[in-house]
Chains A and B, each alone.
Chain A
């Protein structure tokens, strides 16, 4: 369990296993590390090409990448950008914590108790399909224009993927393992700790990954309701003053935050599902 070593394990190690294991001459090593670099660069080719095309195709309606970067630098310099990103991130995280907890708890309860699942699942599925935009008038009436309404929308969006995947994860646990636990007379707590939670974990993490995406999307919607801070506020303001460079900047920031969330989710999968060969980042010692 050498945490730092495994946490820092580069993607390249997986690929290192695929290449022939003869770790022979320095020349070969060099060519292999070059190949690794190349492989890591591949995912960035499409965004880069898009960026170049964008810069070359000048238009009156769309600011060029350089203008967007300039806007970013200006806002970053006076501290405004960091403040808005922080306000949004805080809303996102609080909403995620609340929604994640509720979704997990409901998934756990319904996964374990058939009676509860029967009672609650249909209602949850009905609420799940209501679009966020349709809820905005209600949210304003309930919570006013403050923070609570925004956090509520994020929590609502996050709760469903976590609920659904926790519930499914628990229901799909190998019944033979549950039977084994019975024969070995595991206590209720031990059954949860040893069998149910780790057994549902792959599915729960899929839910977390979806939820992290939905978290930012819910926030965009939420921040269009009378905010006085946050990336959504920044975008709304810029739109009113037709500052297209800042509008595009906020879109890029959302994309980057989304990518960052996804990287965290992937890291969690690698860490928590080490036992599963499909997720193992480090070659076995």
Chain B
């Protein structure tokens, strides 16, 4: 049973700077939603709000029926940086939320790193560390996983590998997913639905109904172009 996300009349400002204004968004349980937009458009703030890391200026966020004021038990984040504890072994890092040893090992197997359990994070490559972070997020079988540009720091090939891995695990386990990315191609290849954020609100809410695994065919590129148009042209529209 996954959990649905409801964002209700949500506003957030930092001092005088209003980042999100009266935003409404419903994400059904099990859906994979991508948030895209220019840097500073508030997509990371929205993700952090869902995680319970930001206090709302107005409105609220609900996971199922629960009003979010602090991190939810069934929610995990995968950050852009791995945020592994450098002084704990790979296995200890994955088992950080007191999940038992077997589940931690299972989780490492799922990301293909079962042979690295006793290593220190410092001895792994960037891609491997990010896979450990994914294993850590999965270890407690959460119902919601938020991805905050998790592939941003990886090289192109590792990124492709990670994309396949995350997509496969999502299909297998059906957790509700919210992905923040600046890469429109990544959004289209992952998501059931892509939200373009601009000027503190939703500029476009686009359904992606392509079969998986997705190829970069004309339909894919058409979606990409629609999204890019929405992201790039939006400010001009607001000025006129």
Contacts of A274 in B (CB 8 A): 120
B122 at the interface (CB under 8 A from A): yes
B97 at the interface (CB under 8 A from A): yes
| A139, B97: Cα distance in complex, Å | 50
| A71, B71: Cα distance in complex, Å | 70
| A194, B84: Cα distance in complex, Å | 11
Closest chain A residue to B80, Cβ basis: A176
Return the CB mask of A142-176 against B: 1 if under 8 Å, else 0.
00000000000000000000000000000000001
Contacts of B86 in A (CB 8 A): 275-276
Contact across chains for B53 and A194 when beta carbons are under 8 A apart: no
Contacts of A273 in B (CB 8 A): 87
Contacts of B81 in A (CB 8 A): 176
Return the CB mask of B91-103 against A: 1 if under 8 Å, else 0.
0000011100000
Contact across chains for A194 and B97 when beta carbons are under 8 A apart: no
Centre residue among A194, A201, A273, A275 by max chain B CB count within 10 A = A275
A105 at the interface (CB under 8 A from B): no
Closest chain B residue to A182, Cβ basis: B71
Contact across chains for B122 and A183 when beta carbons are under 8 A apart: no
B73 at the interface (CB under 8 A from A): yes
Contacts of B83 in A (CB 8 A): 176-177, 179-180
Contacts of A277 in B (CB 8 A): 122-123
B221 to chain A, nearest CB (A): 36
Return the CB mask of B102-137 against A: 1 if under 8 Å, else 0.
000000000000000001111100000000000010
Contact across chains for A195 and B79 when beta carbons are under 8 A apart: no
| A276, B87: Cα distance in complex, Å | 7
Centre residue among B53, B77, B86 by max chain A CB count within 10 A = B86
Contacts of A180 in B (CB 8 A): 77, 79, 83
Return the CB mask of A198-213 against B: 1 if under 8 Å, else 0.
1101000000000000
B residues 64-79 in Cβ contact with A at 8 Å: 70-71, 73, 75-77, 79
B residues 26-57 in Cβ contact with A at 8 Å: 51, 53
The 8 Å CB contact of B97, one of A184, A199, A275, is: A184
A185 at the interface (CB under 8 A from B): yes
B216 at the interface (CB under 8 A from A): no
Contact across chains for B97 and A185 when beta carbons are under 8 A apart: yes
A111 to chain B, nearest CB (A): 17
Contact across chains for A201 and B87 when beta carbons are under 8 A apart: yes
The 8 Å CB contact of A275, one of B73, B87, B98, is: B87
B85 at the interface (CB under 8 A from A): yes
A188 at the interface (CB under 8 A from B): no
Contact across chains for B97 and A198 when beta carbons are under 8 A apart: no
B2 to chain A, nearest CB (A): 18
B88 at the interface (CB under 8 A from A): yes
The 8 Å CB contact of A199, one of B71, B73, B87, is: B87
Contacts of B53 in A (CB 8 A): 179, 182-183
User: Beyond A184-B97, A194-B96, A284-B123, is A275–B79 a contact (Cβ under 8 Å)?
Assistant: no
A186 at the interface (CB under 8 A from B): yes
A176 to chain B, nearest CB (A): 6
The 8 Å CB contact of B85, one of A185, A198, A276, A284, is: A198
| A284, B120: Cα distance in complex, Å | 10
Chain A residues within 8 Å of B, Cβ to Cβ: 176-177, 179-180, 182-186, 190, 194-195, 198-199, 201, 273-277, 284
Chain B residues within 8 Å of A, Cβ to Cβ: 51, 53, 70-71, 73, 75-77, 79, 81, 83, 85-88, 96-98, 119-123, 136
